[in-house]
Amino acid sequence: MNRNDLGELIRLLRTRKHYKQSDLAKRLLVSTDAVSKWELGRALPNRESEEKICQEFDLTLEDLHHPEATIARLKNETISESSEVIPDKRRGKRKKWIIICSAVLCIALVGVASFLHLQKKSESLSFYYHDSRYTFDEYAGEEIYERSCIYIGTYSAERANLFTDSAREEWLQDDDIRQDVKVLKLSFYKNVEDAEAWKPTKKWVYLFRE
């Protein structure tokens, strides 16, 4: 048995356990100087120390008496353990990236859904009456009944058709409105201030009694 190989084996076993020479000496009930001499190849452990070394590091006497082969085996085991750890780390990183990407995707989907909701809301159109009056209208050339209407959403003549039809039916059926007035004008405003001022607007509809 080569002393230097045995010394290297003892040092390798000790460092794998993160022991100091003094730590190993206490566990084997020998002096720190004895451990130092073993590792430097200046002395060999006696039979009792050999058995304690085998017990401490889970070796056989055969392993201890063939240190070169045991060192090679332990180094191969270290390489195998390292190769197993790397995939674990990679799996951990991959899992982390999956979580991050999933979170980003969820945020993006929520953003798209919110945008579509707001877009749909802005494209919808609703109306309500604000005020009404009898006034002479130069375009009609006669006195008319005019209603100011506030609209909410994106205005278009096509979208106003249903409201216009409903307003006409209501006008024709309302006995409290003067029957001699033959024209109803619906003036559409985006805000109450303009409606109260009866400001001229390009969004209007004339309706006539049959």
Q: Find the CATH number of the domain harbouring 24.
A: 1.10.260.40
Range of the domain at 21: 3-72
Q: Are residues 129 and 204 in the same domain?
A: yes
* Helical axes 21-28 vs 32-40, angle rounded to 10°: 110
**Which residues does 42 contact at the CB level (< 8 Å), separation at least 6?**
3
Q: Which pTM was predicted?
A: 0.42
Q: Are residues 203 and 130 in the same domain?
A: yes
* Residue 85 resides in a domain: no
For every one of its 210 residues, what pLDDT tens digit does the chain have, with 9 covering 90 and above? 688 889 899 999 999 899 999 999 999 999 999 999 998 988 999 999 999 999 999 999 998 898 899 888 888 876 665 555 445 556 667 777 888 888 888 888 887 776 565 545 445 678 889 999 999 999 889 999 999 999 988 888 787 888 898 898 999 998 889 999 999 999 999 999 999 999 999 899 999 987
Task: Report how many domains make up the chain.
Answer: 2
